[in-house]
Amino acid sequence: MNQNVKILLLLLFAISPVTSQKFEIGKVSIEELQQKSHPADSSAEAAILFKTGITTFDFTPEQGFLMTTKVKTRIKIYKKDGYDWGNFEQEYYKENNNSREKVSFSDAVTYNLENGKIVKSKLKSEGEFDEQVNKFWGRKKITMPNVREGSVIEYVYTITSPNITKLDDWDFQTSIPVNYSEYKTEFPEYFVYKINQRGFIFPKVTTETLQRSFLIQGKDSSSRGIGGGSAFTQDKVDYQLSRTTYVAQNLGAMKDEDFVNNIHNYTAGVSHELSIIKYPQSPVKYLSTDWVSVAKAIYDNDNFGAELNKSGYFEEDLKSLTAAAATVEEKVAAIYNYVKQNVKWNGYYGYSCNDGVKQAYKNKTGNVAEINLMLTAMLREAGFNANPVLVSTRSHGISFFPSRAAFNYVIAAIEYNGKITLLDATEKYALPGILPTRDLNWLGRLIRKDGTSMEIDLMPSILSKETVNIMVGMDAAGSISGKVRSTFTDYNALYFRQMYGGMKSEEYLEKLENNNNKIEISDYKRENEDDFSKPLSETYSIHDANDTEIIGDKIYITPLLFMNTKVNPFKQEVREYPVDFTFPFEKKYSVTIDVPQGYTVESLPQNASFATESKFGAFKYMIVNSGNKIQAVITLDILASIVSNEDYPVLKDFFQRVIDKQNEKIVFKKI
């Protein structure tokens, strides 16, 4: 874990010095509109010409300090693929009036060049939308008018929030080039924030201290005002303000590479989390000082711990569904499957309940928290040591400092016989110990009944296997016919069911044929498709006339035939991000090939066995000629879920050796 954190925070290169610039909304130039492509990236569909933001704090007598973030953005559209950059959305918290946030848009204009003149199209009310995400969150969206190739878009949005604990992350990079990005924070001396910079590029940072003041109004009953009432008073409070400015420019587009779990983890950005409040003449208050405190604060929330402890809604059902269970495993499976089948996930993430566990149980639908806290409560009632586990999903990213916003999901865990089994009842095809892949994101935090917590490794340690048995014969013309049986376990089985479980048979067979060099498939059968506790398998007959080569009196084939890998998936010379395989796996092929009638074996590839020095990859290749049959066993093991970018050259070379070996030929010679 520590090594991976170092990798994520590694500084690869510094940004060139930033010159002082002024960016103003409404000052779009003809030169910007005439630009046909980005000067540094001609492939870019769009570019952020500038994005500036500032977060300030203003004191109000009613609510104390309110936090306001104002962001100004100008975007250039180069291609049709960039039209989506004319849409923008911002979520806001809306549960109650005391903590409700406000979002507003202004100065939203699309600029186009028509007959040499700049034409403005202002955003109208029909281009603004306000959606309800769930009980806690709303979403405001804008769709800019008249967006086309060559357009320049500008808009300003403002977020006002009484919740000063967490600032929205500021990303300097995105999937398109960014010419200039600037973010300022102005923190009163009463608030101390933890600051985390992520990514491979660090912006230029400047800080300064300023003097500010605000007025507090009150009544003085000891003094008489006009009309005999109490006199109003005003007290001026002076305080120091710390202003920090982050500036980055000329940032290239973030290119998403294969085997990356979430590109945002590596995007240059800055995050802030309130850690200390120190008002005058008051004790210093420490917030989110460590992960234990964060977990306890979440557990103590009414929408978490109180919901977990509710009873009186499932007990009768629980008795009947566990009555016939003879073992611990059967009892766990009965409860887990009951929740999966009877309470459907509505697609909403979060560790807080929306309508509550009782309502979700009654309505047979709920969010992640309602389903998995309900599951935890039922397991506890059945006598198990069950507890919730806070998770940050792969799409949510990885947080490196304690924060309640670090988590966006909750699952269940059972501690039994010194072993912890993780469960997530939101996924139809999952099993105890086999989580949906969205959950597989480094570390979670298990919270026990007494509020104590511990770190939990979410990454799988067992090898998920794909075992393929091929038995084929070949005629003198090189056509191959035979049988194939493939078996998938654990995460390979989960992935197969998710990808193909609801697909029509004809569509799947067409995909299978096309993915295997257009072989012909018949007699297709699938086993254990609906019994998730067993390995899933498929069998079929094949006819393949595309994977042999006849030169003169010789036939050349590779042992893996149509399943042979020809291209290394790792093509980059340099890898910036760790390689994420999601889970460790094994691919094992057992192949039997009958020697064609009228031919003999002239040569076979040599046996081989090799592994990477750090043991994250291993490969074995064994082949023999026994009588009139060729028998080969080829095994590839990837033993780590994540391989660091420092090991990328080794990984790339390892895969190339594997591919080279797989492509060596068996040679049959006519007798």
Q: Could you give the CA distance from residue 99 to residue 265 in angstroms, rounded to a whole number?
A: 29
φ, ψ dihedrals at 242, nearest 5°: -100, 115
| Nearest of 144, 116, 145, 106 to residue 33 by alpha carbon | 116
Per-residue pLDDT, averaged over 406-426, amounts to 96
| Nearest of 516, 521, 530, 557 to residue 669 by alpha carbon | 557
CA atoms within 13 A on the CB side of 417: 3
Show the tokens assigned to 104.
């507003």
Give the range among 15-24, 80-89, 600-609 with minimum mean pLDDT.
Answer: 15-24
Residue indicated by tokens 């390979």: 492
For residue 46, count other CB atoms closer than 10 A to its CB: 26
Cβ 491 vs Cβ 437: under 8 Å: yes
Report the DSSP pairing between strands 178-188 and 46-60.
parallel
Residue 421 pairs with which residues in a beta bridge? 414
At 102 the pLDDT is 95
Integer Rg of the chain from CA:
31
At 18 the pLDDT is 39
At 287 the pLDDT is 82
At 221 the pLDDT is 52
At 182 the pLDDT is 98
Distance (Å) of CA 73 to CA 131, 154, 399, 449? 22, 6, 27, 47
Q: Could you give the CA distance from residue 595 to residue 472 in angstroms, rounded to a whole number?
A: 10
At 2 the pLDDT is 40
Residue 197 pairs with which residues in a beta bridge? 270
Residue 531: helix, strand or coil by DSSP?
coil
At 215 the pLDDT is 83
Portion of the chain with pLDDT greater than 90, in percent: 81
pLDDT at residue 562 tops 90: yes
Tens-place pLDDT, residues 569-606: 999 998 888 999 999 999 999 999 999 999 999 999 99
Residue indicated by tokens 């569904």: 321
The distance of Cα 54 from the centroid of its chain, to the nearest Å, equals 27
Tens-place pLDDT, residues 292-332: 989 998 999 999 999 999 999 999 999 999 999 999 999 99
At 230 the pLDDT is 53
Residue indicated by tokens 């006849």: 550
Q: Could you give the CA distance from residue 102 to residue 91 in angstroms, rounded to a whole number?
A: 10
Cβ 29 vs Cβ 258: under 8 Å: no
pLDDT at residue 549 tops 70: yes
pLDDT at residue 288 tops 80: no
| Nearest of 559, 543, 555 to residue 476 by alpha carbon | 555
Q: Could you give the CA distance from residue 401 to residue 482 in angstroms, rounded to a whole number?
A: 56
Distance (Å) of CA 647 to CA 39, 617, 643, 658? 34, 11, 6, 17
Report the first-to-last Cα separation within the chain, whole angstroms: 60
Q: C-alpha angle 361/365/368, rounded to 5°?
A: 95
| Nearest of 215, 257, 666 to residue 480 by alpha carbon | 666
Tens-place pLDDT, residues 190-213: 999 989 888 888 999 999 999 998
pLDDT at residue 291 tops 50: yes
At 61 the pLDDT is 82
At 399 the pLDDT is 77
pLDDT at residue 17 tops 50: no
Residue 270 one-letter amino acid:
V
Buried b (16+ CB within 10 A) or exposed e, 84-113: ebbebebbbebbeeeeebebebeebbbbbb
The pLDDT confidence band at residue 19, using thresholds 50, 70 and 90, is: very low
Q: What is the pTM of this model?
A: 0.86
The pLDDT confidence band at residue 219, using thresholds 50, 70 and 90, is: low
Q: Could you give the CA distance from residue 491 to residue 583 in angstroms, rounded to a whole number?
A: 7
Residue indicated by tokens 């510094």: 14
Please, what is the average pLDDT of the chain?
92
Cβ 274 vs Cβ 165: under 8 Å: yes
Tens-place pLDDT, residues 493-524: 999 999 999 899 999 999 999 999 999 999 99
Show the tokens assigned to 490.
């654990």
At 500 the pLDDT is 95
CA atoms within 13 A on the CB side of 38: 24
At 5 the pLDDT is 37
Tens-place pLDDT, residues 111-147: 999 999 999 999 999 999 999 887 788 999 999 999 9
Show the tokens assigned to 546.
């595309």
φ, ψ dihedrals at 539, nearest 5°: -130, 145
pLDDT at residue 222 tops 60: no
Show the tokens assigned to 606.
């040599």
At 271 the pLDDT is 92
Q: Could you give the CA distance from residue 243 to residue 240 in angstroms, rounded to a whole number?
A: 10
Show the tokens assigned to 655.
């895969």
Cβ 407 vs Cβ 390: under 8 Å: yes
Per-residue pLDDT, averaged over 251-261, amounts to 89
φ, ψ dihedrals at 13, nearest 5°: -155, 160
Portion of the chain with pLDDT greater than 70, in percent: 94
Tens-place pLDDT, residues 37-53: 999 999 999 999 999 99
At 4 the pLDDT is 41
Classify residue 477 as left (phi > 0), alpha (psi -120 to 50) or beta: alpha
Distance (Å) of CA 195 to CA 246, 272, 279, 623? 12, 5, 20, 57
φ, ψ dihedrals at 65, nearest 5°: -80, 130
Cβ 609 vs Cβ 648: under 8 Å: no
pLDDT at residue 13 tops 60: no
DSSP state at residue 312: S
DSSP state at residue 406: G
List of domains in the chain: 2-20+39-213+241-286 (2.60.40.3140), 291-457 (3.10.620.30), 464-670 (2.60.120.1130)
Q: Could you give the CA distance from residue 300 to residue 293 in angstroms, rounded to a whole number?
A: 11
At 3 the pLDDT is 41
Show the tokens assigned to 372.
């998995």
Alpha helices in 523-669 (DSSP H): 648-662
Show the tokens assigned to 165.
């604990």
Burial of residue 297 (CB within 10 Å: 0-12, 13-18, 19+) is: middle
The pLDDT confidence band at residue 88, using thresholds 50, 70 and 90, is: very high
At 405 the pLDDT is 84
Buried b (16+ CB within 10 A) or exposed e, 140-149: bebebbebee
Sign of the C-alpha dihedral, residues 311, 317, 318, 319? Answer: positive
pLDDT at residue 370 tops 80: yes
At 1 the pLDDT is 39
For residue 553, count other CB atoms closer than 10 A to its CB: 12
